[in-house]
Amino acid sequence: MNLMEARILEELRTIVDTRGLISAPEELHTYECDGLTNFRVMPRAVLLPNSTEQVQAIVRICHRERIPFVARGSGTGLSGGALPVENGIVISFARMNRILEVDFPNARVVVEPGVINLDVTGRVSPQEYFYAPDPSSQSICSIGGNVAENSGGAHCLKYGFTTTHVLGLEVVLPDGSLVHLGGKTLDVPGYDLAGVFVGSEGTLGVATKIILRIVKRPECIRTMLAAFPSTNEAGAAVSDIIAAGMLPAAIEMMDNLAIQAAEAAVHANYPSCGGLLLVELDGPVAEVEALMIDVNEICRSNGALEIRVAQSDAERALVWKGRKAAFAAMGRISPNYIVQDGVIPRTALPRVMSEIERLSGEAGLRVANVFHAGDGNLHPLVLYDRRIAGQEEAAEALSSHILELCIAAGGSITGEHGVGEDKKKMMSKMFAEPDLATMQRVRCAFDPLQLSNPTKVFPTPRLCGEKPGEYVPYPAESAGIAERY
């Protein structure tokens, strides 16, 4: 470590005290990756501030010294969003985990970014409210991380995403200044910069306080499992449910391989079948019961082999435990796997599924499928064995092919995990150059020096101040039609 670095470290230490600075190489290993473990970078230091002022002081030094920084919540992200940047520091929010304010009359909660997602619901559930976004990692992931990634979850079909539930943010910009985006009331005058910030994957600054909306618990929740011979019949049932005008709280689908894995891991007592649907309806009892009859009928007419309705909260919890454990459960049936997060228009499901099957056969690799079927968010899990030469590369290639299928079907490369480090190369396949250049211009307004998580999201970083995308002349001009006049 050179002298300048020692000086900077000392200055950082005075901000956060000794407990808030990690710089010993053996301790830094914990922070070299997030939930996407195949990318690893050692940070120069990890800072654990415990106040907005400390975050500002840290970022000001980074700005002065041109040190890139990456914010980190619980490190559960699946796209490498919290992966450190070469020669950069990590700002961990582990110590900023206070719920600052709970306001039931206005259904608002104010939290620090390190608060765990499920703890928000835990805090407001005695009054029968909940915080709606529920990523599968909700018992450990942080609200700050959810904000960065615009996390979804199984219930976003009805309730929306993190961005739907974030009303305002206190943000430390990459020059260390503090701004307030949005607020406790709706439609604060000005641009919806809170809407831009949520889902920007840490590239626009660091949130230090978050104003959330909470939702009253529905009168009842009914969860149904329907077993089908294959995902095709299950998919047809989903289309019919939607076409009938229903908006279930969640519709999840698992294929045979995913069911096997979930069974092996948590014994969810799922029926063995080719395609399993999990349908959850919520709302007033009379409404839900009327609609459950319709859902039952739709499933039967699409060839359901078996239909079960969870009879108690415990049964419902078990049904969800199996679904939420599905990724981790792959470890039971395969040494290694890649999780993907592509989205397709729901109607493209049968076509894309059979293509995935064909590609999987060609590559000689198994693919397990777990979907948020209601909104077309696929989570294909490509299974492989790193010890077998060439399999990892083949799995990565297959994984990319699947995302290309999603793009070709008019979908997206990511529904909730984010682009991060993992999928930035795919961005130019989904967006044209002018689209990406426009996003980069917005970034330049927030972070002209590109210090905040600088290497993520975009395939080719563009320096601010560089001339944006080439102008393409209107065809009439090139064709010389303009000369006629």
Partner 1 sequence: MDAATKSEASGLHSSLRYKFIALVGNEYVHAATAADSAAGTQPKLVIEPGTQSELAEVLRLSNEAGLAVIPRGGGTKLGWGNSPARADIILSTARLTEIIEHAWADLTVSVEAGCTIQKLQETLAQHGQRLALDPLWPEKATVGGVLSTNDSGALRLRFGALRDLIIGATIALPDGTLASSGGKVVKNVAGYDLPKLVTGSLGTLGVITRAVFRLHSLPRNMRSFSVPAADAEETQRIVRAVQDSKLAHTFLQSHFSDDTSPVSNILFEGTDAGLAAQEAQLRNLSAPASVAEASTSTWTAREELWTFSDPASTAIAKISILPANMARTIDFVERIANARQLRWRALMYATGIGWLRLEGKAGSLRDALDVLRSELQSREGSLVVLHRPDKMLAFDAWGTAGDAITLMKAVKKQLDSKNTLNPGRFVGDI
Write out the binding residues for partner 1, residues 432-461 only, by CB under 8 A.
Answer: 432, 434-439, 441-446, 457
Minimum gap (Å) between residue 203 Cβ and partner 1 = 9
Minimum gap (Å) between residue 362 Cβ and partner 1 = 26
Angle, helices 285-301/231-243, rounded to nearest 10 degrees: 140
Contacts to partner 1 from residues 101-120, by CB under 8 A: 103-108
By CB under 8 A, name the one of 6, 100, 264, 286 that touches partner 1: 286
Question: Please, which residue, 175 or 266, has the CB nearer to partner 1?
Answer: 175
Q: What does the alpha-carbon distance between residue 244 and residue 295 come to, in Å, rounded to a whole number?
A: 9
By CB under 8 A, name the one of 92, 231, 334, 377 that touches partner 1: 377
Given the rule CB under 8 A, which of 249-257, 300-308, 324-332, 415-423 is the region that contacts partner 1?
Answer: 415-423
Mask 127-146, x = binds partner 1 (CB under 8 A)? -x------------------
Q: Is 479 in the site for partner 1 (CB under 8 A)?
A: no
Question: Please, which residue, 184 or 401, has the CB nearer to partner 1?
Answer: 184
Beta strands in 284-348 (DSSP E): 306-309, 336-339
Minimum gap (Å) between residue 320 Cβ and partner 1 = 19
For CA atoms 183, 186, 190, 194, give the dihedral sign.
Answer: positive
Q: Do residues 200 and 154 lie in contact, with contact meaning Cβ atoms separated by under 8 Å?
A: no
Given the rule CB under 8 A, which of 49-57, 242-250, 253-261, 263-271 is the region that contacts partner 1?
Answer: 242-250
By CB under 8 A, name the one of 323, 324, 379, 417 that touches partner 1: 417
Question: Please, which residue, 210 or 363, has the CB nearer to partner 1?
Answer: 210
Instruction: Name the burial class of residue 125, with classes exposed (0-12), middle (13-18) and buried (19+) by CB atoms within 10 angstroms of its CB.
Output: middle
Q: How many chain residues interact with partner 1 (CB under 8 A)? A: 105
Contacts to partner 1 from residues 11-70, by CB under 8 A: none
Contacts to partner 1 from residues 193-232, by CB under 8 A: 193, 195-196, 198-200, 216-219
Q: What does the alpha-carbon distance between residue 128 and residue 121 come to, in Å, rounded to a whole number?
A: 9
Pick from 230, 274, 270, 224: which is nearest to 249 by CA? 224
By CB under 8 A, name the one of 3, 191, 311, 390 that touches partner 1: 191
Q: What does the alpha-carbon distance between residue 334 and residue 304 come to, in Å, rounded to a whole number?
A: 29
Within 8 A by CB and 6+ apart from 354, the residues are: none
Minimum gap (Å) between residue 157 Cβ and partner 1 = 8
Question: Please, which residue, 114 or 283, has the CB nearer to partner 1?
Answer: 283
The count of other CB atoms within 10 Å of the CB of residue 253 is 28
Residues in the chain: 485
By CB under 8 A, name the one of 164, 232, 260, 336 that touches partner 1: 164
Phi, psi of 60 (to 5 degrees): -60, -40
Q: Is 471 in the site for partner 1 (CB under 8 A)?
A: yes
Minimum gap (Å) between residue 117 Cβ and partner 1 = 16
DSSP 148: H
Determine the 3-state secondary structure of 48 from DSSP.
coil
Q: Is 469 in the site for partner 1 (CB under 8 A)?
A: yes
Q: What does the alpha-carbon distance between residue 69 and residue 46 come to, in Å, rounded to a whole number?
A: 10
Q: Is 324 in the site for partner 1 (CB under 8 A)?
A: no
Q: Is 297 in the site for partner 1 (CB under 8 A)?
A: no
Provide the greatest CA pair distance for the chain.
77
Question: Please, which residue, 216 or 386, has the CB nearer to partner 1?
Answer: 216
Q: What does the alpha-carbon distance between residue 145 and residue 166 come to, in Å, rounded to a whole number?
A: 13
Beta strands in 195-240 (DSSP E): 206-213, 215-216, 220-228
By CB under 8 A, name the one of 22, 89, 181, 251 that touches partner 1: 181
Contacts to partner 1 from residues 72-101, by CB under 8 A: none
Given the rule CB under 8 A, which of 12-20, 117-125, 156-164, 312-320 is the region that contacts partner 1?
Answer: 156-164
CA dist 436 to 88, 447, 456, 461, Å?
Answer: 25, 16, 13, 10
Determine the 3-state secondary structure of 145 from DSSP.
helix
β-sheet with 99-103: strand ranges across: 99-103, 108-111, 206-213, 166-172, 178-182
Minimum gap (Å) between residue 349 Cβ and partner 1 = 10
By CB under 8 A, name the one of 344, 370, 382, 405 that touches partner 1: 344
Q: Is 372 in the site for partner 1 (CB under 8 A)?
A: yes
Q: What does the alpha-carbon distance between residue 285 and residue 24 come to, in Å, rounded to a whole number?
A: 57
